[in-house]
Amino acid sequence: MEFKDFAELCSLLDSKSGRIEMTDIIAGFLSKIPRETLSIACYFIGGEVFPIWQGVELGIAGKLMIKALSDVSGVEDEEIEKLIRDKGDAGLVAEQILVKKTQTTLFQETLTLEKVYDNLSKAAVLEGKGAQEKRLSYVQELLSNAGPLESRYLVRLVLGELRLGVGDGIIRDAIAKAFNVDVDLVERAYQLTSDLGEVAKTANTGGNEKLKEVSLVPMRPVKVMLAQKAEGLEETLAEFSPAAFEVKYDGARIQIHKDRKQIELYTRRLENVTKQFPEIVKSSMENINAESAIIEGEVVAIKSFEDRKPRPFQDLSRRIKRKYDISQMVKKIPVEVNLFDLIYINGESKLETPFRERRKLLEEAVSATESFRLSEQMVTDNAEQADEFYEHAISLGHEGVMIKNLDAPYQPGSRVGYMYKLKPVMESLDLIIIGAIWGEGKRAHWLASLLLSVYDPARGEFLEIGRLGTGLTDEQFQEMTELLKPLVVEEKGQEVKIKPKVVVEVAYEEIQHSPTYSSGYALRFPRLVRIRNDKGPLDTDTMERIEELMRK
């Protein structure tokens, strides 16, 4: 399929904002695509080149793109940088300067979706000496064959700045409409495979019947089941009793996949972190007594194996982000894993199995060690005993407790009332930074007054909900600036727009109605709790959560 068709689709979507209209447009586009190109189209429409669980990084940032644009257009690097600062959009700059190319191939090829995907796939796996030059040549080839409109969306796609306002929900609905299948079956298949591209191909080929057959597969991460916020112990026990109470560990959720002699580790946002935690890989291979399994747990950075006190979450984030010198980090920041669920074993899905039975299967499948443990649990219908367990969890230095329905199945990707979390303070919110203002005085070189946003799945947009500027130390301001600076996409005076990538946990006094921000709400006295490197923008609290808190 020609990339020009995709660019025209993007241009049309850019002019629309209604969910139903956008769904119809995408459905029409998908229905005309050859099956072999469907997965690529779904990834591209969602603003990605590869599914996140594949762990593939393009390695193509702003500087390399500017160099590629300069080589193809003949415009100097400095002029391109200035244009990008002025327009705040590298795609629009590409469209402007590539109207007249100084470097063209003798026999210019028609640019296709497949060619773009192929070049970017080759660029992503390059390593070692000469990799950057070769990566540059792959991008140059694409730009040389791209027309002005194509170049706008090609550049945005490569830089992760497509921003069509199309969320997973819109693509899901479009797949259902394009191939006349049940949207609930599309959603189910997506939760089990984490891959809308593959789901689209299944829907196109086999309809509802094939979608029903989609199941768990080791080495393909599943969307995790999510917990709701509990109002209190007694209220939750009134809903289901007895209940399983487990320590809510102050760490990061991890999904362990085993298939014979292979182990893969994924975070809750589906990132592959197998290389970052070799000790967990070793423990999993030695202590999971099954040929194949998918097991969930919480990885916690600890001070020592003697007292097991949790270290600050940022220490664990350093482990998750580290790509090199892994052996040093293993010694410097030890971790333990607390396992709490099993959803697949020896070729059989256990999603429909009640939690009490899944816990028994977990206990049978794992040989617990000092650092590879079962989560601490107590089953009770007594509120007083539950409160004692809650206080015990807090005394260990963790966040609170999880309260689980013993009869519940496992529902991937949903907050369905099967488990709750109870913490001792007013619930914080996980939000996304989408803007900032350069500071003044001694903070002139730091980004301050961070613009917070909440994700609205219905619109596929990040909506403003307040600014975070107080309570940060100088060290935190510096760390935040280093994290956000590479994500700046537009700069006007002191104000900057930031690519929505960084998630922060924020505490606050209350939520108020406000016309100032696009969400219609404002946080009163927001303050930073921590940076959530373990979460992606779509793993955060949503407008639905904000409205629920307001109702309460």
Contact 484, 447 (CB under 8 A): yes
CA angle 155, 110, 92 (to 5 degrees): 25
CA-to-CA distance for 226 and 414, rounded, in angstroms?
5
SS (H, E, C) 261-315: CEEEEEECCCCECCCCCHHHHHHHHHHECCCEEEEEEEEEEECCCCCCCECCHHH
Q: What pLDDT score was predicted for residue 442?
A: 65
Q: Tell me which of 479 and 211 has the higher pLDDT.
A: 211
Do the beta carbons of residue 510 and residue 450 sit within 8 Å?
A: no
Per-residue confidence (pLDDT) for residue 100, from 0 to 100: 67
The pLDDT of residue 104: 52
- Regarding pTM above 0.85, the answer is no
Q: What is the mean pLDDT of residues 227-231?
A: 85
- The H-or-E segment that residue 336 falls in is strand 335-345
Kindly report, residue by residue over 404-439, the tens digit of the pLDDT. 999 999 999 877 789 999 887 667 899 999 999 987
User: What is the distance between the alpha carbons of residues 195 and 48, in angstroms, rounded to a whole number?
Assistant: 11
Q: pLDDT for 327-354, tens place per residue?
A: 889 999 999 999 999 999 999 999 999 9
Q: Are the beta carbons of 339 and 290 closer than 8 angstroms? A: no
**pLDDT bucket at 103, cuts 50 / 70 / 90:** low
Q: How confident is the model at residue 466 (pLDDT cuts 50, 70, 90)?
A: very high
Say which amino acid occupies 221.
Answer: P
228 with 415: CB under 8 angstroms? Answer: yes
Q: What sign results for the dihedral spanned by CA atoms 368, 270, 117, 144?
A: negative
What percentage of the chain has pLDDT greater than the value 70?
Answer: 97
Per-residue pLDDT band for 448 (boundaries 50, 70, 90) equals confident
Q: What share of the chain is helix, strand, coil (3-state, %, to 5)?
A: 40, 25, 35
pLDDT band at 552; cut points 50, 70, 90: low
pLDDT band at 16 (very low <50, low <70, confident <90, very high): confident
Exposure of 407 by Cβ count < 10 A (0-12 exposed, 13-18 middle, 19+ buried)?
A: exposed
DSSP assignment of 211-274 equals: HHH----TTSPPPPP-PEEPS-HHHHHHHSSSEEEEEE-SSEEEEEEEETTEEEEEETT--B-T
Mean pLDDT within 238-242: 90
Give me the pLDDT at residue 354, please: 97
Q: What is the model's pLDDT at position 58?
A: 82
Q: Are the C-beta atoms of 368 and 216 separated by less than 8 Å? A: no
Checking if the pLDDT of 509 tops 80, the result is no
> Does pLDDT of 108 surpass 80?
no
Mean pLDDT of the chain: 89
3-state secondary structure of 16: coil
The alpha carbon dihedral of 415, 420, 426, 431 has a sign of negative
Check if the beta carbon of residue 222 is closer than 8 Å to that of residue 296: no
The residue annotated as part of the active site, out of 177, 201, 248, 258, is 248
Query: What pLDDT is recorded for position 325?
Result: 84
- Rounded Cα distance, 271 and 398, in Å: 24
From 393, 405, 294, select the one nearest 351 (Cα to Cα): 294
Backbone angles phi, psi at 467, to 5 degrees: -120, 140
pLDDT category of residue 445 using cuts at 50, 70 and 90: confident
Reported confidence tier of residue 109, pLDDT bands at 50, 70, 90: confident
Q: Which residues pair with 353 in a beta bridge?
A: none
Q: How does pLDDT run across 30-39, given as a tens digit for each residue?
A: 999 999 999 9
Question: What single DSSP character describes residue 47?
Answer: T
Fill in the amino acid letter for 24.
Answer: D
pLDDT of residue 513: 86
Q: How confident is the model at residue 460 (pLDDT cuts 50, 70, 90)?
A: confident
Nearest to 114 by CA among 14, 34, 53, 201: 34
Candidates 119, 123, 97, 99; CA nearest to 109 is 119
Residue 105 above 70 pLDDT? Answer: no
* pLDDT bucket at 119, cuts 50 / 70 / 90: very high
Question: Quick one: pLDDT at residue 454?
Answer: 94
Ordered structural domains, the chain, with CATH = 3-158 (1.10.3260.10), 228-422 (3.30.470.30), 429-551 (2.40.50.140)
Note whether 147 and 4 are within 8 A (CB).
Answer: yes
- Top-ranked range on mean pLDDT: pick from 97-111, 275-289, 537-551: 275-289
Pairwise CA distance, residues 274 & 326, whole Å: 11
pLDDT at 102 over 70: no
For 69-88, how does the pLDDT look when each residue is reduced to its tens digit (9 = 90+)? 998 988 898 999 888 878 87
Q: How far apart are CA 257 and CA 292, in angstroms?
A: 8
| 82 classed as catalytic | no
The pLDDT assigned to 425 comes to: 60
Q: What is the mean pLDDT of residues 431-455?
A: 86
12: burial class by Cβ within 10 Å (0-12, 13-18, 19+)? middle
Lowest mean pLDDT: which of 118-132, 205-219, 327-341, 420-434?
A: 420-434
Instruction: Determine the average pLDDT of the residues in 518-541.
Output: 87
Q: What's the pLDDT at 385?
A: 94
Residue 426's pLDDT is what? 62
User: CA 301, 304, 305, 306: dihedral to nearest 10 degrees?
Assistant: -140
Q: At 461, which amino acid appears?
A: E
Give the DSSP letter of residue 58: -
Look at strands 377-380 and 372-374 and give their pairing.
Answer: unpaired
pLDDT band at 384 (very low <50, low <70, confident <90, very high): very high
